[in-house]
Structure 1
Amino acid sequence: MGNGLTRRQVLWRAGALGCSAAASPLLTPLSFASAPWDNRLVAIILRGGMDGLDICRPVGDSEFAGLRPGLSEGGVPLDGFFELHPDLADLEPLWQAQELAFVHATSTPYRDKRSHFDGQDLLEAGTAALGSSVGRDGWLNRMLAEVPGAVAETAYAIGREEMLLMAGAAPVSGWWPDLDITLSAQGLRLLEATLRDDPAMAEAMAQAVLLADSDGSGVIADSDAPGAAMTAMTGDMQAATSGKPGQAHLRIAEFTARKLREETRVAAFSLSGWDSHSNQAQSLRRPLRQLSQVLNGLRDGLGPNVWGKTTVIAMTEFGRTARINGTGGTDHGTGGTMILAGGALRGGRVLGHWPGLAEGDLHARRDLMPTSDVRSWTAWILRESFGLSQERLEREVFPGLDMGSAQGILR
């Protein structure tokens, strides 16, 4: 951690100020890292098993409409074979600008057990099997460890555990975005003293309070806190109380864009809500719109210059069944879809090999058949973005992976 401030110190001081964190169904810890190259990478974990067949609809496959009655109409045409879910219509300009792409029929090596926890662990670990010798490191942290000179920004470790994706030996900054902070009169006095005497902590707390209010209700003044003491708080903390409930994803996009415009080069966070066992036509609307807003928010917040150096990878632990179930939803499946975005992307394409939806073409006669490995696409993005060698990617970042031939994913 930078500026002489340790994770233990941040946690201790946060506790002294009366900070508490609550679990969020939307977001998990947001992590950043800086590095000595100019390209940017944003990794988004879509937790719950996103239904790629609904997001990027293969309407040109003659089997699709029969497998998905009620979930196959009203899409936005993409290339004559695939259509975009109507609640992602705001992403069409990215597609037209070749800044959006999809990888269909892809997955991790995880098969048939269909546990969210195991599937997510394997996705973030980047290994071929659970319990490998790599341990609890994440592939993104291992990538950073391969980059000479990579350093962490000042850490804001307020809240729960880090994402496995970013866990490991390489230095990474992290914090929890849905923090609730209650400031008593005593806490205010301590905070003022800390801000006056410790510039590193002043910056840390300003950032923490900004993120604390990302859900619109994070900063609370105790009733016994005198008005004068509250007036003495920094402008950043006053401004941090202006958010609105339900807008956490927008605040995360804004904050991520701001960090990437500065020293940060890698960001990772997650969005939940993708487990659509019933009434999928309605249950996916909110996460789809939030994802659309996050991607467009990153583009707008980064500006043309930095967006042109940025690649966004959105990935999920597994796909869903080809057929809808009796409650209008889909169950845990296998082959899924990656969403790629960014100005660095050669987009406007649906990548991967399409296996077909005839019953004989399905995995276990129920799921979209995986025809590629999520890790391979990710490794090539890392290769093209940051110049890591194929040998090191296959040996250190994704141990045992055969990346195959170059994919030309980026411009």
Structure 2
Amino acid sequence: MALTLDRRRFLSTLGCSLAASPFVTPMAFADMPSDNRLVVVILRGAMDGLDALQPYGDPDLVRLRPGFDTGPAGGALDLTGFHALAPGLADLMPLWRAGQLGFAQAVSTPYRGRRSHFDGQDILEAGTAGEVPPLSGRDGWLNRLLAGLPQATGRTAFAIGRDDMLLLRGEAPASSWAPDAALDLTQATRDLLLHVYHDDPLFRETAEEALLLSADGPDKRKEGQDKVEALFTFAAKQLSGSARIAALSIPGWDSHRNQANQLRRPYGRLAAGILRLQADLGPVWDRTTVLAMTEFGRTAAENGTRGTDHGTGGTLVVAGGAVRGGQVWGQWPGLAEADLLDRRDLMPTGDVRSYAAWAMRGLFGLDAAFLTSTVFPSVEMGPDPGLLA
């Protein structure tokens, strides 16, 4: 009886011995014919956009957050005379000065009301109009992007880790990989594996790719490198080759208490990851755009434990050599009580999906009608915010 085994199942079988930890963070990549690169970073846990990009020029910020150190007087770095950069992101200041870092303020997805991390992240990655997508048939907006590019070729689809990213889930071929998972095989075993599948084009290609990517895994990390930074190292290596899109995530942004300490590590990881891309991509950095987005913002006022709770409006971080940075995009709604959403949250004045749509239009020359009908159904792109140089 002939044995039929598809590529995903083949590598899933291999993955049983690879992903010993259930907390492996997956990454996803896709090949594209364009020379431009897009990196999407999901900041899981709801980053406090009013802390990352501090609107210290609004007098109500101090009223709402009397226990927080805010603005230049509190150690933040002045950006515009109205906005300041959180001290934890200070390493990114050279990018701001070089015009390779910017922020979109008061943005959100269409998700409202319940403020659930799980629902918020699903809606962010699905790119839908506010309702949680059904479990069956849900796909991600990056995958729909690939499906609309006839010349795009995806790597063989595979995922290693606890789960894959909804961003790239769908019918278009793409691949997932966790650099924490390594094929712990001797050289002789590797040679035997390739020999066994040498005459089978399906398995030979899959085995060769698995072994190649495994070689770029943890054994090749720089000594002392943080686990999340290692993801960016791996992403840069793929983007320096045939990959054109990378999607990954940074956890740890849920800051209900002692926010200053809670955010120190994720800020450091985000800054180090972006700078790792800049260093490792070399000249490719000039054609790269990084979008770091989160499922929703946090409350405008601090809570009783020096933290913030789940909110709505937040901040989009935009970086890269292809970016027209050194500026803050979007309309500022104000922090007066009457200006807040439900008298508690920063009022969204922009849709984070529209900024992503304009970035993809500029990077890959996509038609606006395709972006608003397929990639982000029903989104209103509005005027070009001018993200890209």
Q: TM-score when scaled to structure 1? A: 0.86
**Match for residue 201 of structure 2?**
none
Deviations 1:288-328 (A, max 9, x none): 0110000000011111x211111000000000001111110
Partner of 1:210: 216
Aligned to 1:136: 138
User: Within 5 Å, which residues of 2 pair with 1:254-273?
Assistant: 254-273=233-252
AA matched with 1:210: D
* Deviation of the 1:135 alpha carbon: 4.0
CA deviation vs aligned residue, 1:120-168 (integer Å, no higher than 9, x gap)? 0000000103245894110111011111111112455322332001101
The question of 1:59 aligning with 2:49 is answered: no
Q: Is the 8 A contact 1:21 1:178 kept in 2?
A: no
Counterpart residue number, 2:322 = 344
* Cα offset, 1:255, TM superposition: 1.3
Gaps in structure 1 of 5+ consecutive residues? 214-239
**Separation in 1, partners of 2:18, 2:51:** 40
The question of whether the paired residues in 1 share the 8 Å contact of 2:122 and 2:132 is answered with no
Counterpart of 1:175? 177
Task: Say which SS state the counterpart of residue 148 (structure 1) adopts.
Answer: coil
Q: Deviations over 1:157-210 (max 9, x none)?
A: 322332001101111011233326666xxx876444114444631441242253
SS in 1 for 2:245: strand
Which ranges in structure 2 are unaligned for 5 or more consecutive residues? 199-203
Contact 1:311–1:342 (8 Å) recurs in 2:
yes
Pairing 1:117-156 to 2, within 5 Å after superposition: 117-132=118-133, 135-156=137-158
Instruction: Provide the residue aligned with 1:276 in structure 2.
Output: 255
What SS is found at the alignment partner of 2:216?
A: helix
Q: Which one of the candidate residues 38, 46, 50 is aligned to 1:49?
A: 46
**8 Å contact kept, 1:20–1:181:** no
Q: Which amino acid aligns with 1:251?
A: A
Q: 1:241 to 1:144 in 2, by over 3 A?
A: closer
- In structure 1, C-alpha distance between the alignment counterparts of 2:95 and 2:327, rounded to whole Å: 11
Answer whether contact 1:28 1:163 (CA < 8 A) is retained: no
Which among 150, 159, 166 is matched to residue 157 of structure 1? 159
Task: Tell whether the 8 Å contact from 2:126 to 2:133 is kept in structure 1 after alignment.
Answer: no
| Partner of residue 82, structure 2 | 81
Counterpart amino acid of residue 158 in structure 1: I
Q: 2:279 aligns with which of 271, 277, 300?
A: 300
Q: Between Structure 1 and Structure 2, how many residues are aligned?
A: 373
Find the counterpart in structure 2 of residue 34 from structure 1.
31
Q: Is 1:248 aligned to residue 248 of structure 2? A: no
Does the alignment pair 1:97 with 2:98?
yes
Counterpart CA distance in 1 for 2:15 and 2:86 is 43
Partner of 2:41, secondary structure, is strand
Contact 2:46/2:294 (8 A) holds in 1: yes
- Counterpart contact for 1:394–1:402, Cα < 8 Å: yes
Counterpart secondary structure, 1:265: strand
TM-score of the superposition, structure 2-length normalised? 0.90
Counterpart of 2:379 in 1: which secondary structure? Answer: coil
Distance change (3 Å), C-alpha of 1:345 and 1:243: closer
SS in structure 1 of the partner of residue 272 of structure 2: helix
- List per-residue Cα deviations over 1:244-263 (Å, max 9, x = no partner): 57611222111111111111
Cα deviation digits, residues 373-399 of structure 1 (max 9, x gap): 111111111111111111111111111
Name the structure 1 match of 2:193. 194
Contact residue 26 and residue 160 of structure 2 kept, 8 A? no
- Deviation beyond 6 Å, 4+ runs, structure 1: none
- For residues 366 and 32 of structure 1, the distance between their equivalents in structure 2, rounded to whole angstroms, comes to 38
Partner of 1:116: 117
Distance 1:247 1:57 in 2: 27
SS in 2 for 1:178: coil
Q: Give the percent of matched residue pairs that are identical in Structure 1 and Structure 2.
A: 50
Quick one: distance in 2 between partners of 1:245 and 1:294? 14
